[in-house]
């Protein structure tokens, strides 16, 4: 592994998860020779997980699609058959396939955008215009199997769905962490590379952290205390903590008191949720709840933080809200060591005054299930019925971009049935997988190593203010991701397939500049857009759009107003990133609610409380299913990397010994898990690491679909847990219940 004089070293941020680790990539003879953590990275300081170095394997994967594919019939086994095509031919086929739908009701074309889009610069810049150009209301994303409750909660509380406070884990003394397992996931809605190390540092400086989770996860094992909880009941526990804080006279919003509306209303409305009243439902005894409240109130700096286990339940929005109610009530919102709002380099500086237009959901409703629009999209739980139910507005054609709904979304058998029934489908992806096998045309996105990178989304959720741009490691002959997204967007706008993508490039850059020119107080207020445009640098359109965002952003050079300010060129000159400092308090001016206050008692929250109260008297299911993650896996799409999947089988059903005994289920044997939606047979792992009455299966497996082309994954297919996920959603955000699904479990 000795370095060669001709080796080239490139520093790059890992795009695989939210942690944004810096990588040091050595290239020898035109191939990746080695990938290790970049010790000089200003944020990750050398931390890397086992997935980071597999950018090499992903890049070299013979199954990764490199040429557009057009479906041209069936294989002998009935699975779809594809042939390779030229790019122009593929775009022309999309134009032809979409034409009948574009000419009539645009709602007949649906769009599903998956998770890797938020880890991709071109997609971050182009997806929104693409969806706008399409002009369909049938838009779905992975947000409604993930963080949508937090957007709704933040939207109502602070006025903007993007204003999500993150736990300031580097400076806190006490962390209450619910439904998150950063030892496996490396953190979410909390970009903190090396999060496990940071939590260990919290302990070393005398602080504590407590994990609330039905499983004794690796994070729970590392914590000072593990509190097992019955799935789906975190909102009850959190409500009881608020009541306990009130009962002990420990509600102290401090500085933010005058900028908060409805704190008394909220406390009064939560009075029926006491440590005693919720104990039977949550499985957390009153004593423990009281102690957690006392610790949160007593610590100098404390923070409550919740993730997937709290959002993907039927009370996801209430749980997300209550987390911030507690942070506010204990004086820890917007304070160092509490829950703070990052100031991203691509966003504006804090405004001069609080207030704005606020946030609303439910501006329109889905056709079949009448579920509310949130952020311009429908719950992905509605996708299959919107495709399968005939009538005006039925989805008959679909575009998927970096998504695998056939594995990652609820009731996936029904989704597959729906995908199979489409008249036309286009996918932008890197694999022919369980979802894209239904496409008529697949456009291969570039490999991560063939594009520049900047984490627009995650620096807005980071525990320090940071900016880091990465160059591509390799050149490529094919179109850039910009070109793929631009040309697809132009076709979906109704323009000819051979339209110049520069039309779209200009449009995205104009949008960024126009917004800044119109914003009062911006450094370029009132200037001429063309003049600014001429000053942009960057080789691709998305890099130039990024340059524009950075320059008019919170630390930007304002196109000359502050010569020391941030530009893309400055980031290029700093390959290990630029640290812009610790998080700073931003309230009240950061608020954009109509009242200019934190609207703690927004009607949406208050009107859902009776449902929460009613849940206490519902007889709980005898057995429920939760998920889990493993550090060597990433949702559904990294199972084709041999170094990650080799070894012990990971797609196993965890069951408590008492539940296994009662059912005659044996370790290593098979058990049947059945829900209202479907049934799977999974290999059993008997373990005390899961509480009685709960079983756990990881998601993203089930790689035996005919026609998919992921050879390594097919050797260890596992089972698809989302066959079991039913139609239940959190009504406020439309987010699916992926955790706490009622199931029955029997020996095979
Ligand atoms: N039961 C259960 N289900 C879950 C979850 C759970 O906890 N439990 N978690 C949910 C969560 S949090 C999420 S975010 C969703 C994810 O849901 P999805 O985003 O729909 O699914 P992924 O498995 O991430 O699939 C990503 C797709 O993008 C492709 N891809 C990868 N890189 C690129 C790229 O650079 N460009 C392009 N164009 N394509 C690329 C992959 O091949 C794959 O097809 O899953 C959800 N599903
Ligand atoms: N290795 C790896 N890393 C990833 C991903 C991956 O698939 N693999 N996915 C990425 C994505 S898209 C996301 S969104 C993040 C998610 O990041 P995390 O939210 O940290 O995700 P998980 O590791 O699934 O942790 C969720 C925990 O919630 C617990 N849980 C389940 N139900 C409940 C409940 O009702 N209450 C409580 N309190 N806990 C519950 C589960 O047992 C599990 O331990 O991870 C990201 N990072
Ligand atoms: S923790 Fe996430 S960002 Fe860091 S190396 Fe692993 S996958 Fe990449
Ligand atoms: Mo996610």
Q: State the distance from the centre of ligand 2 to the C-alpha of 739, rounded, in angstroms.
A: 10
Place of tokens 């909220």: 266
Instruction: Please check the confidence at residue 1 and state whether its pLDDT lies above 60.
Output: no
Quick one: three-class SS letters along 509-550?
HHHHHHHHHHCCCCCCCCCCHHHHHCCCCCCCHHHHHHHHHH
Relative to the CA of 630, which ligand 2 atom is closest? Answer: 1
> What is the enclosing helix (H) or strand (E) of 736?
strand 735-736
pLDDT tens for 428-457 read 999 999 999 999 999 999 999 999 999 999
Is the whole-model pTM more than 0.75?
A: yes
Tell me what the mean pLDDT of segment 229-255 comes to. 98
From the alpha carbon of 636, which atom of ligand 1 is closest? Answer: 23
Mean pLDDT of 27-41: 97
Residue whose CA is closest, atom 4 of ligand 1? 408
Pocket of ligand 3 (CB under 6 A): 14, 16-17, 19-21, 48-49, 51-52, 186, 193
- Asked if 383 contacts 111 with a C-beta cutoff of 8 angstroms, the reply is no
Pocket of ligand 2 (CB under 6 A): 17-18, 115, 146, 178-182, 184-186, 188, 212-215, 217, 229, 231-232, 234, 307-310, 313, 626-631, 633-635, 739-740
Name the closest-CA residue to atom 45, ligand 2.
185
pLDDT digits (tens, 9 = 90+) for 252-263: 999 999 999 999
- pLDDT at position 213 is 99
Between the CA of 480 and the centroid of ligand 2 the distance, in Å, is: 32
Question: Residue 745: pLDDT above 70?
Answer: yes
Mean pLDDT of 620-639: 97
Say yes or no to pLDDT of 4 above 80. Answer: no
Q: Could you tell me which residues come within 8 angstroms of residue 370 by beta carbon, excluding any fewer than 6 positions away? A: none
Closest CA to 468 of 445, 480, 447, 452: 452
Q: How far is residue 546's CA from residue 204's CA, in Å, rounded to a whole number?
A: 39
Asked whether 16 and 53 are in contact (CB, 8 A), the reply is no
Task: Express as a percent the part of the chain with pLDDT over 90.
Answer: 98
DSSP label at 115?
A: G
CA distance 729 to 378: 12
Q: Which residue out of 25, 43, 48, 184 has the highest number of ligand 3 atoms within 8 Å of its CB and is therefore the one to mutate?
A: 48
Q: How far apart are CA 670 and CA 653, in angstroms?
A: 9
Distance CA 540, CA 482 (A): 7
Nearest to 481 by CA among 234, 122, 48: 122
Q: What is the pLDDT of residue 574?
A: 98
Give the pLDDT mean for 1-23.
90
Tokens of 610: 């009776």
The conformation of residue 650, written as its DSSP 8-state character, comes to -
Cα–Cα distances in Å, from 231 out to 186, 281, 677? 22, 10, 18
Backbone angles phi, psi at 409, to 5 degrees: -115, 160
Asked if residue 613 has pLDDT above 70, the reply is yes
- Segment 112-123 shows an average pLDDT of 98
Task: Pick from 177, 181, 457, 612 the residue to mutate for probing ligand 2's pocket: most ligand atoms within 8 Å of its CB.
Answer: 181
146 Cα–ligand 4 center, Å = 5
Taking the mean position of all CA atoms in its chain, how far away is CA 7? Answer: 36
Tell me the mean pLDDT in the region 488-493: 98
**Alpha carbon distance 730, 605 (integer Å):** 12
**In contact, 34 and 69? CB cutoff 8 Å:** no
The pLDDT, as a whole number, for residue 490 is 98
pLDDT band at 3 (very low <50, low <70, confident <90, very high): low
> Quick one: pLDDT band at residue 520, thresholds 50, 70, 90?
confident
Helix axes 481-492, 121-134, angle to 10 degrees: 10
**Which residue in this structure is represented by tokens 């900016």?**
467
- Count CB neighbours of 285 within 10 A: 14
Return the ligand 2 atom nearest residue 219 CA: 44
The pLDDT score that the predictor gives to residue 5 is 77
- Residue 203's alpha-carbon distances to 169, 170, 208, 297, in angstroms, are 11, 11, 5, 18
Task: Please report, for residues 312, 509, 544, 726, the alpha-carbon distance to residue 536 in angstroms, rounded to integers and kept in the order given.
Answer: 41, 10, 6, 49
Residue with tokens 């793929």: 484
Q: How far apart are CA 214 and CA 123, in angstroms?
A: 36
Q: Which residues line the pocket of ligand 1, CB cutoff 6 A? A: 114-116, 120, 142, 145-146, 308, 401-405, 408, 428-431, 433, 435, 445, 448, 627, 635-637, 699-700, 721-722, 725, 738
In terms of C-beta density within 10 A (0-12 exposed, 13-18 middle, 19 or more buried), how is residue 648 classed?
exposed
Mind listing the pLDDT tens digit for each residue in 300-354? 999 999 999 999 999 999 999 999 999 999 999 999 999 999 999 999 999 999 9
Separation of first and last alpha carbons in the chain: 49
Q: Given the CA of residue 15, which atom of ligand 1 is nearest to it?
A: 35
pLDDT tier at 2 (50, 70, 90 boundaries)? Answer: low
Return d(Cα 452, Cα 25) in angstroms, integer.
14
Q: Which residue has the tokens 């919102």?
A: 333
Confidence of residue 521 (pLDDT cuts 50, 70, 90): confident
Which of 142, 151, 644 for mutating ligand 1's site (highest number of atoms within 8 Å of CB)?
Answer: 142
């Amino acid at each position: 592994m000795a370095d060669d004089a001709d080796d080239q070293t490139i520093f790059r941020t890992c795009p695989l998860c939210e942690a944004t680790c810096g990588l040091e990539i050595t290239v020898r003879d035109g191939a990746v020779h080695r990938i290790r953590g970049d010790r000089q990275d200003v944020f990750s300081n050398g931390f890397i997980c086992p997935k980071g170095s597999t950018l090499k394997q992903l890049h070299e994967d013979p199954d990764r699609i490199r040429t557009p594919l057009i479906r041209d019939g069936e294989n002998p086994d009935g699975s779809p058959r594809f042939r390779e095509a030229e790019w122009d031919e593929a775009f022309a086929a999309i134009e032809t396939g979409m034409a009948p739908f574009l000419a009539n009701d645009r709602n007949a074309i649906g769009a599903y955008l998956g998770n890797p889009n938020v880890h991709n610069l071109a997609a971050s810049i182009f997806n929104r215009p693409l969806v706008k150009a399409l002009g369909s209301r049938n838009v779905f994303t992975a947000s409604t199997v993930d963080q949508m409750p937090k957007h709704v909660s933040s939207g109502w509380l602070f006025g903007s769905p993007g204003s999500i406070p993150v736990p300031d884990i580097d400076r806190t003394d006490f962390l209450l962490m619910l439904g998150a397992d950063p030892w496996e996931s490396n953190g979410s809605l909390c970009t903190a590379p090396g999060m496990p190390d940071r939590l260990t540092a919290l302990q070393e400086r005398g602080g504590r952290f407590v994990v609330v989770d039905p499983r004794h996860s690796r994070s729970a094992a590392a914590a000072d205390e593990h509190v097992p909880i019955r799935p789906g009941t975190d909102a009850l526990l959190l409500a009881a903590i608020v009541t306990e804080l009130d009962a002990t006279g420990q509600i102290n919003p401090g500085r933010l008191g005058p900028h908060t509306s409805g704190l008394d209303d909220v406390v009064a409305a939560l009075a029926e949720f006491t440590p005693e009243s919720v104990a039977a439902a949550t499985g957390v005894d009153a004593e423990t709840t009281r102690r957690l409240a006392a610790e949160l109130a007593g610590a100098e700096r404390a923070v409550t933080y919740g993730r997937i286990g709290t959002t993907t339940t039927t009370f996801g929005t209430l749980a997300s809200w209550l987390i911030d109610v507690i942070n506010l009530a204990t004086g820890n919102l917007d304070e160092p060591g509490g829950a703070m709002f990052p100031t991203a380099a691509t966003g504006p500086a804090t405004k001069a005054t609080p207030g704005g237009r606020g946030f609303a959901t439910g501006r329109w409703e889905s056709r079949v299930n009448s579920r509310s629009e949130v952020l311009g999209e429908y719950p992905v739980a509605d996708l299959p019925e919107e495709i399968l139910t005939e009538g005006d507005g039925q989805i008959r054609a679909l575009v998927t971009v970096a998504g695998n709904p056939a594995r990652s979304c609820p009731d996936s058998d029904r989704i597959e049935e729906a995908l199979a029934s489409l008249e036309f489908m286009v996918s932008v992806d890197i694999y022919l997988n369980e979802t894209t096998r239904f496409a008529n045309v697949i456009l291969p996105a570039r490999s991560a190593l063939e594009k520049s990178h900047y984490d627009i989304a995650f620096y807005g959720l980071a525990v320090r203010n940071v900016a880091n741009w990465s160059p591509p490691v390799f050149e490529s002959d094919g179109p850039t991701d910009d070109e793929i997204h631009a040309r697809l967007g132009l076709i979906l706008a109704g323009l000819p397939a051979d339209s110049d993508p520069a039309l779209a490039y200009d449009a995205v850059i104009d949008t960024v500049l126009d917004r800044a020119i119109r914003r009062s107080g911006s450094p370029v207020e009132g200037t001429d857009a063309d003049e600014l445009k001429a000053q942009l640098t960057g080789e691709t359109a998305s890099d130039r759009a990024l340059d524009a965002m950075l320059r008019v952003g919170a630390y930007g050079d304002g196109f000359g107003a502050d010569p020391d300010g941030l530009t893309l060129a400055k980031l290029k000159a700093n390959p290990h990133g630029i640290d812009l400092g610790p998080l700073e308090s931003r309230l009240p001016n950061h608020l954009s609610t109509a009242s200019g206050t934190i609207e703690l008692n927004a009607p949406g929250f208050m009107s859902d409380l009776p449902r929460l109260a009613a849940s206490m008297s519902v007889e709980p299911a005898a057995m429920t299913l939760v998920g889990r993650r493993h550090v060597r896996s990433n949702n559904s799409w990294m199972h084709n990397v041999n170094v990650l999947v080799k070894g012990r089988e990971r797609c196993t059903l965890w069951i408590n010994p008492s539940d296994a005994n009662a059912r005659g289920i044996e370790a290593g044997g098979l058990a049947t898990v059945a829900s209202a939606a479907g049934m799977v047979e999974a290999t059993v792992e008997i373990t005390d690491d899961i509480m009685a009455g709960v079983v756990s299966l990881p998601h993203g497996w089930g790689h035996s679909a005919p026609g998919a082309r992921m050879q390594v994954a097919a050797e260890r297919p596992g089972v698809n847990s989302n066959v079991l996920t039913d139609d239940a959603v959190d009504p406020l955000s439309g987010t699916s219940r992926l955790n706490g699904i009622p199931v029955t479990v029997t020996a095979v």
